[in-house]
């Protein structure tokens, strides 16, 4: 009878510092796992298992939503729906990239860096997908067609380049300056979100001031609250920093970060779908239907640029053997 031998798990003192997580004491996979071991560990309870599944399963949910939308709305022939298609595509990609990063990040220290380079690039793409949809459906009436509206997507594309570059670079300073690295990564993700949300925040402010009763407003509030909670969890490492070892397998901040992020994306998707439907007549009267260069084009272009950025950082990793050996030596001390 065939038997499956599960990879041995390690404690925090048995893995190099680059693999350690604050407040997580047990359940680490071997830092030089094979690809097979990484795949097997998906079905083994480690401190990464829930991180993998909390993003892998939602990626298929968003793919189902995308396919359903394409079929139900005849999106290929209706340009008005293209921003939502571009947005949903990025919703499929970012959790899938994250789940793959968490799955294969223990093959080596270099593999860990490269896996998360792609993870960061996917998050930047999702940020741009959100901006594309916000530009098409969420802008307050007073700002539609304004100078800010005309340049909004161009700045959002530049923000994705900034986000990917800064987050990837943060991994190079992680060992020597952990707090600086964390701050850089938080900024890389928070700044594009804040910029993308300017039209939404202003619209919610106007609604609050005028006492409007749009049915979509509570959904936008839910997404915003979850986005802020997601950022808080990412930055604080709560609750595991308060009780090291208690949340090693279930309930640590990165799992909660994933869950809140996915639920927030769901509410964002529902809010965008509502705005797209309810504001269609007014928006099409105020502006022409979105073109390829305003929807799918920026996402494709920024994806190509971000892949080049990731390739550059990956090449840098392999061109710095002395740096890698020095870091490895420090981690083993």
Structure pTM? 0.93
The pLDDT assigned to 321 comes to 66
Say whether pLDDT at 225 is over 80: yes
Kindly indicate the confidence band of residue 4, based on its pLDDT and cuts at 50, 70 and 90: low
The pLDDT assigned to 5 comes to 78
Kindly indicate the confidence band of residue 37, based on its pLDDT and cuts at 50, 70 and 90: very high
The pLDDT assigned to 332 comes to 38
Q: For residues 145-155, give the mean pLDDT.
A: 97
Using H for helix, E for strand and C for coil, what is the string for 90-105?
Answer: HHHHHHHHHHHHHHHC
Q: Which residue has the higher pLDDT, 226 or 329?
A: 226
Kindly indicate the confidence band of residue 203, based on its pLDDT and cuts at 50, 70 and 90: very high
Per-residue model confidence as pLDDT tens digits over 118-137:
999 999 999 999 999 999 99
DSSP secondary structure, 159-221, as one string? HHHHHHHHHHHHTTSTTT-HHHHHHHHHHHHHHHHHHHTHHHHHHHHHHHHHT---TTHHHHH
Distance CA 200, CA 219 (A): 12
Q: Report the SS3 class of residue 42.
A: coil
Per-residue model confidence as pLDDT tens digits over 162-199:
999 999 999 999 878 888 999 999 999 999 999 999 99
Distance CA 228, CA 206 (A): 20
Kindly indicate the confidence band of residue 74, based on its pLDDT and cuts at 50, 70 and 90: confident
The pLDDT assigned to 326 comes to 47
Kindly indicate the confidence band of residue 236, based on its pLDDT and cuts at 50, 70 and 90: very high
The pLDDT assigned to 176 comes to 83
Q: For residues 231-258, give the mean pLDDT.
A: 96
**CA 76, chain centre distance (Å):** 27
- The count of C-alpha atoms lying within 13 angstroms of the C-alpha of 108, restricted to the half-sphere facing its C-beta, is 9
In sequence order, the β-bridge partners of residue 10 are 28
**CA 307, chain centre distance (Å):** 15
Kindly indicate the confidence band of residue 6, based on its pLDDT and cuts at 50, 70 and 90: confident
**In order of start, what are the domains of the chain with their CATH numbers?**
21-319 (1.20.1070)
Q: What is the mean pLDDT of the chain?
A: 93
Per-residue model confidence as pLDDT tens digits over 78-101:
999 999 999 999 999 999 999 999
Q: What angle do CA 188, 120, 251 make, to 5 degrees?
A: 95
| Percent of the chain scoring above 70 in pLDDT | 95
């Amino acid at each position: 009878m065939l038997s499956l031998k599960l990879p041995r798990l390690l404690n925090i003192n048995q893995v190099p510092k680059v693999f350690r997580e604050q407040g997580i004491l047990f359940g680490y996979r071997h830092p030089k796992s094979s690809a097979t071991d990484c795949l097997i560990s998906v079905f083994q309870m480690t401190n990464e298992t829930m991180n993998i599944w909390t993003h892998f399963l939602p990626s298929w949910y968003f793919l189902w939503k995308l396919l359903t939308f394409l079929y139900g709305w005849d999106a290929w022939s209706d340009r008005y729906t293209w921003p939502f298609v571009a947005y949903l595509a990025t919703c499929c990609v970012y959790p899938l990239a994250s789940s793959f990063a968490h799955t294969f990040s223990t093959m080596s220290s270099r593999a860990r860096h490269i896996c998360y380079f792609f993870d960061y690039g996917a998050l930047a793409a999702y940020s741009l997908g959100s901006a594309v949809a916000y530009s098409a459906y969420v802008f307050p009436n007073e700002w539609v067609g304004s100078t800010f509206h005309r340049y909004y997507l161009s700045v959002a594309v530049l923000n994705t380049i900034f986000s990917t570059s800064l987050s990837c670079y943060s991994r190079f300073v992680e060992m020597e300056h952990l707090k600086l690295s964390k701050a850089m990564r938080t900024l890389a993700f928070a700044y594009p979100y804040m910029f993308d949300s300017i039209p939404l925040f202003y619209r919610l402010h106007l609604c609050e001031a005028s006492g409007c009763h749009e049915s979509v407003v509570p959904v936008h509030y839910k997404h915003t609250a979850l986005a802020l909670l997601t950022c808080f969890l990412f930055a604080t490492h709560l609750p595991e920093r308060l009780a090291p070892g208690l949340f090693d397998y279930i309930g640590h901040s990165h799992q909660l970060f994933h869950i809140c992020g996915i639920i927030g994306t769901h509410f964002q998707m529902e809010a965008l779908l509502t705005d797209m439907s309810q504001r269609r007549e007014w928006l099409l009267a105020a502006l022409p239907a979105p073109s390829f260069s305003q929807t799918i084009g920026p996402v494709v272009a920024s994806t190509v640029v971000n892949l080049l950025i990731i390739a550059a950082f990956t090449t840098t990793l392999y061109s710095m053997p002395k740096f890698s050996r020095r870091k490895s030596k420090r981690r083993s001390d």
